Amino acid sequence: MDQKFKLLLVSCCAPCSIGVIHKLHQDHVNFTVLFYNPNIRPFDEYQKRKEENKRICQELNVPFVELEYDPENWSKATQGLENEPERGKRCEVCFQLRLCKAAKYALQHGFTHFTSVFGISRYKDFDQVCRVAQAVSDQFNLPYDMTNWRKGGLAEQTIKLAKEKNLYKQNYCGCKPRPSKSPD
């Protein structure tokens, strides 16, 4: 592993990120977990997800950073997109806002790469996440690791670990409840 390599992993919650965190830790990657999620509401829910994410990092001694919770900023950015479906335009803006903040933090703190677990859930459009991430990467001139964390057995491992650790698992992404129908 390149000694200078320093990865910022943007996480939305523990059940989405536990498999990736365990894998990176096992592979001795120099990484930090960043929690910037102004999209999560209400605040109690935000706190629950943050504490669970922090807990799994502490267990492995992985650095965990929380940035400010500024839901007003998120609401302003997504204004007018309230009725968009999940995977639609609102998600694009939401990813962009959070990844831009992460890229700025990464550059200010000496990270050489960044990535996220935004595309790991089957409810998400992985290509949409990659498109946004590539644009942010170009804007900040910071490489984004495009690994598809759903592959190579990691999705199954993530579910297994979440059960083993008895993680709190929400039934919606962040901004509003999901309709009952599951994606393909």
Residues that bind ligand SF4 in the complex, under the rule CB under 6 A: 39, 86, 90-91, 94, 173-175
CA angle at residue 136 from 124 to 9, to 5 degrees? 65
Q: Alpha helix locations (H) across 35-77?
A: 43-60, 71-77
Rounded to a whole number of angstroms, the minimum distance from the CB of residue 60 to ligand SF4 is 26
Instruction: Closer to ligand SF4 by CB, 29 or 81: give it.
Output: 81
Rounded to a whole number of angstroms, the minimum distance from the CB of residue 94 to ligand SF4 is 3
Tell the residue number behind the tokens 């997504």, with chain if given: 78
Instruction: Closer to ligand SF4 by CB, 19 or 119: give it.
Output: 119
Q: Quote the DSSP letter at residue 30.
A: -
CA nearest neighbour of 53 among 163, 149, 168? 168
Rounded to a whole number of angstroms, the minimum distance from the CB of residue 93 to ligand SF4 is 7
Instruction: Closer to ligand SF4 by CB, 29 or 67: give it.
Output: 67
